[in-house]
């Protein structure tokens, strides 16, 4: 094993302090990454510790299985969670995700990690009540591991490469499963080309979730979702940092989660939901000119000219998750922190031993 350090402590609380002193934590205590514990994780996935999971060429760094394992141990993962952490690491180092953007941007993206497939049930990943909240070890530690990998192995340290102005609490951890068993639709990973029986991880550069409630009718729920997703002041509804200004805003992807009973959506396919939402997520040219996202005086007709915030219906990622006992009007909107041209969601298969 490379990069092994000898650290001194007598008691467990001292071990925690040593890790703080070494600068390895996210502000919360970590599990010391002892060589034995890290080896357990590497053995579980049956891969070489030196195998490179991905590179950040711009920072001249590469992330090995051993580095990912060390951070997963620190996060408090069990060895069984490590295949998901590995897949999430591969996904976030995929050039399409473009990690240098969400990990450094002033907008302060969190890393939404969406788990699909049989591994949800096998590992007890939460996809229901208290979906985004604390209490589930798998969700809490898998999400946390990805952030520690970003900080420690990818140098996304606040003040160094992480230039977030404000950030978001979901930067600590943001991992959810999809409630595939009770969903009225095909799950996200099937939409994205994987077989139902495969387990996958999807990563998405996000701002925190905006929870919604609406009246108890599907169309009303979608109208409220569209209204919230059309908020001014979001990354989608701005025009800077891109060279193409022909549309008016830079556009981006959106994740929508729907809780409640699957039967609420009778008569609505997932595609119908996406196609209903897509033209309704946007603002008028007049509104965008008022807040200086678009330049120029407001002209006759600008109140009626629409600018879409999402490029295509398939850029709306629909997840069925949250308490199934909720009324169907409980949903959330999770906007991308970046334009689609800078970062898009990436899905990778989980290799289980």
CA-to-CA separations, 25 to 76, 145, 148, 279, in angstroms, rounded? 12, 11, 7, 43
Residues 6+ apart with CB under 8 A from 57: none
- Six-digit token string for 141: 């530690």
Return the residue of 16, 29, 44, 61 that touches another protein, per CB under 8 A.
Answer: 61
Structure-token match 């591994």, residue found: 119
Return the HEC string of 45-75: HCCCCCCEEEEEHHHCEEEEHHHHHHHHHHH
Q: And the tokens for 299?
A: 């002209």
Binding flag, residue 181, another protein (CB under 8 A): no
Q: Which of 261, 273, 275, 268 is nearest to 329 (CA)?
A: 261
CB atoms near residue 6 (< 10 Å): 4
Select from 268, 254, 277 the least CA-distant residue to 183: 268
Q: How far is the CB of 131 from another protein (least distance, A)?
A: 28
Applying CB under 8 A, which part among 28-36, 164-172, 224-232, 282-290 lies near another protein? Answer: 28-36
For helices 65-75 and 137-148, give the axis angle rounded to 10 degrees.
130
Q: Candidates 242, 247, 286, 349: give the one binding another protein (CB under 8 A).
A: 242
Report, in Å, the least distance between residue 150 CB and another protein: 11
Which of 26, 38, 139, 277 is in the footprint of another protein by CB under 8 A? 38
**In the bound complex, what is the minimum distance in angstroms from residue 116's beta carbon to another protein?**
27
- Size of interface with another protein, in residues (CB under 8 A): 51
Q: Extract the tokens encoding 349.
A: 């298969």
241 contacts another protein (rule: CB under 8 A): yes
Please name every residue paired with 257 in a beta bridge, in sequence order, or none if there are none. Answer: 319, 332
Work out whether 28 is an interface residue with another protein (CB under 8 A): no
Q: In what order do the strands lie in the sheet with 346-349?
A: 175-177, 110-116, 200-206, 346-349
User: Least distance to another protein from the beta carbon of 320, Å?
Assistant: 31
Select the residue interacting with another protein from 16, 155, 224, 247 (CB under 8 A): 155
One of 26, 47, 53, 67 touching another protein (CB under 8 A): 67
- Give yes or no for residue 98 binding another protein (CB under 8 A): yes
Sketch the per residue contact string, 119 through 148, with another protein: x for CB under 8 A, - otherwise: -----------------------------x
The answer to whether 240 contacts another protein (rule: CB under 8 A) is yes
Rounded least distance, CB 292 to another protein, Å: 12
Considering the complex, what minimum distance in angstroms separates the CB of residue 55 from another protein? 9
Which of 138, 339, 347, 350 touches another protein by CB under 8 A? 339
Place of tokens 């946007």: 282
Cα distance between residue 286 and residue 302, in whole Å = 5
Place of tokens 């890290």: 38
Per rule CB under 8 A, is residue 71 in the interface with another protein?
A: yes
Contact call for residue 59 and another protein (CB under 8 A): yes
Q: What angle separates helix 35-45 from helix 82-92, to the nearest 10 degrees?
A: 80
Measured distance CA(83)–CA(154) in Å, rounded: 19
Note whether 152 binds another protein by CB under 8 A: yes
Applying CB under 8 A, among 45, 69, 87, 142 the residue interacting with another protein is: 69
Pick the closer one to another protein by CB: 52 or 220: 52
Tokens representing 122 are 């096998």
Closer CB to another protein, 39 or 211, in the complex = 39
User: Residues 272, 298, 326, 341: which binds another protein (CB under 8 A)?
Assistant: 341
Instruction: Please give the backbone phi and psi of residue 64, each rounded to the nearest 5 degrees, phi first.
Output: -95, 170
Residue 66 touches another protein, criterion: CB under 8 A: yes
Q: Summarize as ranges the residues that interact with another protein (CB under 8 A).
A: 1, 3-10, 15, 24, 32-36, 38, 57-63, 66-67, 69-71, 73-74, 98, 100-101, 105, 148-149, 152-155, 240-244, 338-339, 341-343
């Amino acid at each position: 094993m490379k990069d092994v350090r000898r650290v001194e402590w007598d008691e467990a609380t001292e071990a925690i302090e040593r890790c703080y002193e070494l600068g390895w934590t996210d502000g919360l205590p970590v599990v010391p990454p002892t060589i034995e514990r890290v080896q357990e994780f590497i053995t579980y996935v049956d891969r070489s510790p030196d195998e490179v999971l991905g590179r950040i060429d711009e920072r001249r760094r590469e992330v090995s299985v051993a580095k990912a394992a060390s951070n997963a141990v620190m996060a408090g993962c069990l060895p069984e969670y490590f295949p998901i952490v590995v897949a999430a690491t591969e996904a976030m180092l995929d050039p399409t995700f473009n990690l240098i953007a969400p990990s450094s941007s002033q907008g302060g993206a969190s890393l939404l990690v969406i788990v699909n497939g049989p591994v949800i049930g096998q590992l007890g990943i939460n996809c229901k009540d208290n979906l985004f909240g604390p209490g589930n070890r798998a969700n809490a530690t898998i999400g946390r591991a990805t952030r520690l990998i970003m900080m420690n192995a990818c140098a996304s340290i606040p003040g160094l490469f992480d230039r977030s102005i404000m950030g978001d609490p979901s930067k600590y951890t943001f991992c959810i499963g999809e409630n595939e068993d009770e969903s009225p639709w095909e799950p996200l990973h099937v939409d994205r080309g994987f077989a139902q029986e495969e387990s996958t991880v999807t990563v998405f550069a996000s701002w925190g979730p905006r929870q919604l409630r609406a009246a108890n009718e599907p169309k009303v729920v979608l109208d409220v979702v569209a209204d919230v997703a059309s908020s001014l002041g979001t990354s989608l509804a701005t025009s800077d940092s891109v060279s193409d200004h022909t549309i008016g805003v830079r556009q981006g992807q959106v994740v929508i989660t729907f809780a409640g009973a699957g039967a609420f959506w009778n008569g609505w396919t997932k595609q119908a939901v996406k196609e209903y939402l897509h033209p309704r997520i946007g603002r008028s040219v007049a509104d965008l000119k008022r807040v200086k996202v678009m330049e120029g005086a407001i002209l006759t007709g600008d109140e009626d000219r629409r600018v879409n915030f999402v490029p295509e219906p398939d850029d709306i990622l629909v997840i069925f998750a949250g308490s199934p006992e909720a009324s169907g009007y409980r949903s959330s909107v999770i906007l991308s922190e970046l334009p689609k041209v800078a970062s898009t969601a990436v899905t990778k298969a989980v290799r289980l031993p």
